[in-house]
């Protein structure tokens, strides 16, 4: 069952086997959960919403709330206006959120439902109470990926909420990319350590990794408030982390409110984190504190200590494009060799950027966007690697090929604590190093001859 992959590679144009992505609405739902007091709403069939909720719940091990327009055959033929209008009336009456974030699905996109018109009519009919907010994003499942859905919902936040009043506020916007709640918390911690005021949206920290208090809250304490997102139009600048997940939102805000944007990659490893810290420093006009420099120094020391174990190791990487790009840079800093790198998301920027990174240090690297894990497995069968880094769906490949495996990205369904341990910033790089070295040395201990089974490595 696990080893159905053949070593002979046949070019496939219309078929994906074990695709390294999922659909847009999941990303939109995750982004919506990063708004305080928000109810994500899936405008489509009940099954779509159930799948998206369960997938996020399995990854974060937290209940994910969302509502649905519950399309049936009638809505599929005549349109979903009645369903969405009734849904909005029910949502605000029963659940009383501050904001509803509507995202579309395959069915509503094929029908061609005009969400802004439906919402405006619902507001006129009184289905949307005064003072309540409804935003939307078009997220057809048949194109793009969950990363595109995340990006489109951020664009919806900017289009509907962000305003420019003419009074510049002493704050910097940060769009964090499709990362874990722990990563968003780490970004905020670094900014606080530098005494920089930031508005981060979306922000799922304290939403999908909150404490167990014995009292259920449908709308946890975390998340960016509507007021904060509105104020983003008056910020000094925007720092967008990740081309695919964040840059469109920052560009939209720049065009709408004339807020200058810095387009960065995810702050993974030394170089990526340095660029993020430098952007905060430059825009806020502050100095980098000694505590942050100390964190960086400890990471450099750890990298130096473990250089002998990482140098020259061949690595296969798969996942979201922003994460693969950032992680590849970190692997190069460790002097490892990312020989295979794929993403399931489409887009020419991935291959272009990866070639810029790898054509020099690893000229034989294989790079592919809109790819799948079946093809990655075929590459590994023909040219074995020392380490595989991807999400849970790589565990079958790792077992069959007996390759050390580090779980990274989305989704991680078979482990539980990933949402608490950051992979961004200097602290996140330390966590990644810890996972990688343990995976490599565990295999060495497991397979070495008895005379090489050492207490000290």
Are both 240 and 179 inside the same structural domain?
yes
Are both 299 and 201 inside the same structural domain?
no
DSSP output for 213-265: -SS--SS-S-SB-HHHHHHGGGSSEEEEE-HHHHHHHHHHHHHHH---EEEE-
Q: What is the pLDDT of residue 2?
A: 63
Query: Rounded CA gap, 389 and 279, in Å?
Result: 29
Are both 314 and 415 inside the same structural domain?
yes
Are both 31 and 69 inside the same structural domain?
yes
Instruction: At 374, give phi and psi (nearest 5°).
Output: -60, -45
Examine residue 402 and state whether it is found in any structural domain, yes or no: yes
Q: What is the pLDDT of residue 12?
A: 86
Are both 333 and 350 inside the same structural domain?
yes
Are both 444 and 305 inside the same structural domain?
yes
Which residue, of 241, 272, 289, is where some domain finishes? Answer: 289
Examine residue 15 and state whether it is found in any structural domain, yes or no: no
Examine residue 206 and state whether it is found in any structural domain, yes or no: yes
Are both 204 and 309 inside the same structural domain?
no
Neighbours of 366 (CB within 10 A): 18
Q: Which domain holds residue 189?
A: 172-289
Q: Could you tell me the CATH number of the domain that includes residue 408?
A: 3.40.50.1980
Q: What is the pLDDT of residue 75?
A: 75
Q: What is the pLDDT of residue 456?
A: 80
Examine residue 6 and state whether it is found in any structural domain, yes or no: no
Which residue, of 137, 160, 183, is where some domain finishes? Answer: 160
Residues in a beta bridge with 389: 317, 406
Examine residue 61 and state whether it is found in any structural domain, yes or no: yes
* Angle, alpha carbons 104-319-19 (nearest 5°): 65
Are both 229 and 281 inside the same structural domain?
yes
Q: What is the pLDDT of residue 122?
A: 95
Examine residue 405 and state whether it is found in any structural domain, yes or no: yes
Instruction: Please identify every residue annotated as catalytic.
Output: 106, 110
Which residue, of 124, 139, 160, is where some domain finishes? Answer: 160
Q: What is the pLDDT tens value at each position of the chain, 457 positions in all?
A: 467 888 888 888 888 898 999 999 999 999 999 999 999 999 999 999 999 999 999 999 999 999 999 998 877 777 889 999 999 999 999 999 999 999 999 989 999 999 999 999 999 999 999 999 999 999 999 999 999 999 999 999 999 999 999 999 999 999 999 999 999 999 999 999 999 999 999 999 999 998 988 888 999 999 999 999 999 999 999 999 999 999 999 999 999 999 999 999 999 999 999 999 999 999 999 999 999 999 999 999 999 999 999 999 999 999 999 999 999 999 999 999 999 999 999 999 999 999 999 999 999 999 999 999 999 999 999 999 999 999 999 999 999 999 999 999 999 999 988 889 999 999 999 999 999 999 999 999 899 888 788 888 7
With b meaning 16 or more CB within 10 Å and e meaning fewer, what string describes 234-263? bbbbbbbbbbbbbbbbbbbbbeebebebbb
Are both 178 and 148 inside the same structural domain?
no
Are both 318 and 258 inside the same structural domain?
no
Terminal CA-CA length for the chain? 36
DSSP label at residue 19: B
With a CB cutoff of 8 Å and minimum separation 6, the contacts of 366 are 339, 340, 341, 379
Neighbours of 204 (CB within 10 A): 29
- Strand-strand pairing, 133-137 and 405-407: unpaired
Query: Rounded CA gap, 253 and 162, in Å?
Result: 8
Are both 285 and 300 inside the same structural domain?
no
Are both 189 and 267 inside the same structural domain?
yes
Domain count, the chain: 3
Examine residue 370 and state whether it is found in any structural domain, yes or no: yes
Q: What is the pLDDT of residue 1?
A: 47
Given a contact cutoff of 8 angstroms between Cβ atoms, the answer to whether 249 and 243 are in contact is no
Examine residue 385 and state whether it is found in any structural domain, yes or no: yes
């Amino acid at each position: 069952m696990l080893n159905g992959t053949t070593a002979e590679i046949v070019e496939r144009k219309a078929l994906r086997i074990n695709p390294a992505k999922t659909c847009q609405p999941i990303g939109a739902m995750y982004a919506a959960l990063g708004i305080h007091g928000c109810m994500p709403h899936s405008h489509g069939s009940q099954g779509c919403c159930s799948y998206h909720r369960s997938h996020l719940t399995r990854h974060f091990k937290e209940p994910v709330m969302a509502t649905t327009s519950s399309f049936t055959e009638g809505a599929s033929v005549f349109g979903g206006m009645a369903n969405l209008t009734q849904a909005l009336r029910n949502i605000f009456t029963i659940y009383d959120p501050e904001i509803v974030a509507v995202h579309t699905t395959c069915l509503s996109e094929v029908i061609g439902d005009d969400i802004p018109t439906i919402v405006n009519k619902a507001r006129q009919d009184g289905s949307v109470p005064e003072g309540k907010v409804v935003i939307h994003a078009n997220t057809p499942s048949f194109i793009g990926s969950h990363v595109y859905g995340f990006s489109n919902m951020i664009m919806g936040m900017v289009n509907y909420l962000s305003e420019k009043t003419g009074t510049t506020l002493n704050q910097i916007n940060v769009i964090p990319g499709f990362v874990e709640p722990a990563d968003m918390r780490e970004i905020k911690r670094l900014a606080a350590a530098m005494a920089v005021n930031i508005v981060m949206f979306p922000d799922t920290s304290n939403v999908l990794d909150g404490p167990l208090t014995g009292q259920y809250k449908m709308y946890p304490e975390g998340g960016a408030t509507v007021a904060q997102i509105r104020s983003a139009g008056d910020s000094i600048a925007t720092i967008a982390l990740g081309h695919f997940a964040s840059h469109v939102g920052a560009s939209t805000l720049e065009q709408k409110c004339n807020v200058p944007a810095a387009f960065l990659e995810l702050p993974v490893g030394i170089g990526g984190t340095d660029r993020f810290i430098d952007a905060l420093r430059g825009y806020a006009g502050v100095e980098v504190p000694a505590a942050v420099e100390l964190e960086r120094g400890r990471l450099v020391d750890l990298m130096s200590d473990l250089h002998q174990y990482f140098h020259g190791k061949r690595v296969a990487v798969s996942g979201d494009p922003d994460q693969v790009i950032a992680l590849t840079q970190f692997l190069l800093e460790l002097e490892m060799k990312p020989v295979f790198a794929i993403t399931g998301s489409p887009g020419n920027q991935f291959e272009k950027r990866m070639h810029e990174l790898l054509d020099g240090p690893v000229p034989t690297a294989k790079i592919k966007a809109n790819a799948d894990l079946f093809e990655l497995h075929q590459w590994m069968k023909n040219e074995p690697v020392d380490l595989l880094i991807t999400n849970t769906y790589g565990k079958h490949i790792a077992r069959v090929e007996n390759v050390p495996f580090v779980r990274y990205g989305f989704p991680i369904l078979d482990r539980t604590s990933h949402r608490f341990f950051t992979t961004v910033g200097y602290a996140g790089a330390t966590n990644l190093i810890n996972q990688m070295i343990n995976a490599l040395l565990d295999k060495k201990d497991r397979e070495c001859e008895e005379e090489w089974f050492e207490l000290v490595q």
